[in-house]
């Protein structure tokens, strides 16, 4: 029996407009029954087949966003930032579209290699890389390793048998005025070396003294959810000046400059986002001006989009478990997921929109708070969202723009298994990552 049979009122008499492609996959539509479809598959059908919560991932959206970056930056090296969502299918899709892959742990490296990514197309990041992680990266032949501390120089010099390309991460001292947890370009933070500091100069000198380490360039990352491209222009000007200093002081030419990622995406209608055309123009202008001023050969630019590739390709499905109206207070719609599958609300105060997926409501709406099922007062998924006043338990809710940092940050809090990832394309759904089961959780518990 389907939800339409249980709730006849779910049927819609007309075709509503398409959902906003700024936050939904571009092939999101409504079918004749008023149900939301992505990639030609009804989300309500996915909920019935795979259960809820479930992450839905639109393959076409991922591929098209890769192509948009390739078109905007035809001469740049584009690395997909795997920490946003590192699974084998996504690694496969992005490399097929011409991108390379950025990893920041041995686990992410293992996923990329399992997906068949060529080691030479992988760059390894991280501010606390272990000896074992560096050893594996050297052994498999990753293309570049970004050095984040003096200790890593010592470790790599002992591990590399032949030659290894490295970059040095610098903090250019640029504050993008975002959430403190995602601002990484300021001087006083855990990543890299402050640009122009004695520590940075010492790191350069140490690397250049190691014949097996080939310092090919500098790396920086300004933060996340940046929508103003001017920050990247300023970063380029400062970094090129530092590269020219290395040439002048050490007679060593750095040929690559990685300006990181962090390009902003909208999570709700009306939110700002990074304009790739504007970003590309500012990068070009800043490179031309900085290189001309310093008499420095134009370096190869690398960028690292992650969230901007996968965020809008993802939609999370939940089932309503209860609707609770508090006299003089809020209306709480409790669903079967929450902070274990989407911790970003609790971590960063992220805000999302939520809609009913199994029907297009035509009646009155209510202002509601969507609450998670976990035993924490802070387990709230969305506040002040408009949902049908006649919403009932069993209906399916969809939360868009959940492709990035949801599966990656998911936990098994309250011993609840993590959701599956289901891909949709051309009317077909397929499971990419299965749901975590009770057996999975118990398999790690050795007992007394």
CATH code of the domain in which 153 resides: 3.20.20.10
> For 215-219, what is the mean pLDDT?
98
Domain-located, residue 147: yes
Q: How many CA atoms lie within 13 A of 46 on its CB side?
A: 36
- What are the CB-based long-range contacts (under 8 Å, 24+) for 440-445? 441/412, 441/415, 441/417
In a shared domain, residues 303 and 232 = yes
Closest CA to 307 of 54, 102, 20, 115: 102
Catalytic residue chosen out of the listed positions 104, 220, 375, 401: 375
What is the residue-averaged pLDDT of the chain? 92
Residues 390 and 262 in one domain: no
State mean pLDDT over 221-248.
Answer: 95
Domain-ending residue, one of 243, 275, 310: 310
Residues 11 and 31: their CA atoms lie apart, in Å, by: 11
Same domain, 163 and 305: yes
Among 310, 330, 363, identify where a domain stops.
310
For the chain, the domain total comes to 2
User: Phi, psi (5° rounding) for residue 343?
Assistant: -85, 0
What was the pLDDT predicted at 8? 43
Is 348 within the bounds of a domain?
yes
Question: Quick one: which H or E segment has residue 440?
Answer: helix 438-443
Q: What is the pLDDT of residues 390-436, one digit of tens each?
A: 999 999 999 999 999 999 999 999 999 999 999 999 999 999 999 99
**Tens digits of residue pLDDT in 179-196:** 444 544 445 566 789 999
CB of 36 closer than 8 Å to CB of 30: yes
- Quick: pLDDT tens for 20-58: 889 999 999 999 999 999 999 999 999 999 999 999 999
Is residue 448 domain-resident?
Answer: no
Decide if 240 is inside a domain.
yes
pLDDT of residue 177: 62
- The pLDDT value recorded for residue 14 is 44
The answer to whether residue 375 is catalytic is: yes
Residue 299 sits in the same domain as residue 285: yes
Whether 67 is in a domain gets the answer yes
Predicted local distance difference test score (pLDDT) of residue 187: 55
Contact indicator for 127, 148 with CB cutoff of 8 Å: yes
pLDDT at 189: 61
**Domain match, 268 and 353 both:** no
Boundary (domain end) residue, out of 280, 310, 340: 310
Which domain, by its residues, includes 401? 3-58+311-443
Cα–Cα distance measured from residue 183 to residue 384, given in angstroms and rounded to the nearest whole number: 27
74 is a domain residue: yes
The reply to whether 305 and 336 lie within a common domain is: no
Burial call 93-118: b when 16+ CB within 10 Å, e when fewer: bbbebebbbbbbbbebbebbbebebe
Give pLDDT tens digits for 270-293. Answer: 999 999 999 999 999 999 999 999
Residues 272, 125 within the same domain: yes
Distance CA 142, CA 159 (A): 13
- Does any domain span residue 177? yes
> In the prediction, which pLDDT does 159 show?
96
DSSP string, 56-114: EEEHHHHHHHHHHHHHH-TTSEEEEEGGG---HHHHHHHHHTT-EEEE-SHHHHHHHHH
> What percentage of the chain's residues is helix, strand, coil (to nearest 5)?
35, 25, 45
Cα distance between residue 243 and residue 235, in whole Å? 12
pLDDT at position 162 is 93
Q: Indicate whether 257 and 356 sit together in one domain.
A: no
Distance, CA of 223 to CA of 216 (rounded, Å):
23
What confidence category does residue 13 fall into, taking pLDDT thresholds of 50, 70 and 90?
very low
Q: Is residue 169 part of a domain?
A: yes
CATH number (domain holding residue 403): 2.40.37.10
Question: How many Å apart are CA 138 and CA 119, to the nearest integer?
Answer: 10
Q: Do 189 and 270 fall within a single domain?
A: yes
353 and 239 belong to one structural domain:
no
- What pLDDT is attached to residue 448? 76
pLDDT at position 19 is 85
Has residue 178 got a pLDDT over 50?
yes
The answer to whether residues 82 and 218 belong to one domain is yes
pLDDT digits (tens, 9 = 90+) for 56-102: 999 999 999 999 999 999 999 999 999 999 999 999 999 999 999 99
pLDDT exceeds cutoff 60 at 213: yes
pLDDT digits (tens, 9 = 90+) for 315-360: 999 999 999 999 888 999 999 999 999 999 998 899 999 999 999 8
Q: Do residues 290 and 322 share a domain?
A: no
């Amino acid at each position: 029996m389907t939800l339409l049979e249980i709730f006849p009122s779910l049927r819609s008499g007309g075709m509503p407009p398409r959902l906003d492609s700024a936050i939904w996959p571009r092939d999101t539509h409504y079918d004749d029954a008023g149900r939301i479809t992505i990639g030609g598959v009804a989300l309500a059908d996915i909920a019935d087949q795979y259960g809820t919560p479930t992450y839905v991932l639109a393959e076409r959206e991922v591929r098209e966003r890769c192509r948009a970056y390739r078109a905007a930056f035809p001469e740049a090296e584009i690395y997909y930032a795997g920490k946003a969502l590192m699974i084998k299918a996504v690694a496969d899709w992005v490399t097929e579209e011409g991108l390379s892959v950025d990893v920041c742990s041995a686990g992410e490296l293992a996923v990329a290699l399992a997906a068949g990514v060529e080691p030479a197309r992988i760059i390894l990041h991280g501010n606390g890389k272990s000896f074992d992680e560096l050893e594996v990266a050297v052994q498999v032949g990753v293309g570049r390793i970004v050095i984040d501390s003096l200790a890593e120089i010592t470790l790599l010099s002992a591990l590399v048998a032949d030659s290894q390309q490295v970059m040095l991460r610098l903090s250019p001292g640029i504050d993008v005025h975002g959430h403190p947890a995602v601002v990484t370009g300021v001087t006083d933070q855990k990543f890299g070396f402050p640009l122009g500091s004695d520590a940075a100069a010492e790191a350069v000198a140490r690397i250049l003294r190691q014949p097996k380490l080939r310092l090919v360039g500098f790396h920086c990352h300004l933060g996340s959810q940046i929508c103003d491209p001017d920050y990247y222009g300023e970063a380029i000007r400062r970094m090129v000046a530092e590269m020219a200093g290395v040439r002048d002081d050490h007679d060593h030419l750095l040929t690559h400059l990685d300006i990181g990622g962090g390009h902003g995406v909208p999570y709700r209608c009306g939110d700002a986002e990074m304009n790739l055309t504007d970003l590309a123009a500012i990068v070009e202008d800043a490179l031309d001006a900085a290189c001309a001023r310093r008499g420095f050969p134009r370096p190869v630019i690398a960028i690292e989009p992650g969230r901007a590739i996968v965020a809008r390709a993802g939609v999370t499905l939940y089932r309503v478990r209860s609707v609770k109206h508090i006299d003089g207070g809020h209306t709480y719609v409790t669903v079967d997921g929450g902070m274990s599958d989407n911790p970003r609300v609790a971590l960063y105060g992220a805000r999302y929109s939520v809609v009913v997926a199994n029907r297009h409501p035509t009646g009155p709406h209510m202002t509601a708070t969507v609450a998670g099922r976990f035993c924490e007062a802070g387990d709230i998924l969305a506040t002040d969202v408009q949902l049908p006043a006649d919403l009932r338990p069993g209906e399916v809710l969809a939360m868009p723009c959940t492709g990035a940092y949801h599966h990656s940050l998911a936990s098994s809090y309250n011993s609840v298994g993590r959701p599956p990832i289901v891909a949709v394309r051309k009317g077909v759904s397929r499971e990419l990552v299965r749901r975590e089961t009770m057996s999975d959780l118990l398999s790690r518990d050795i007992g007394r």
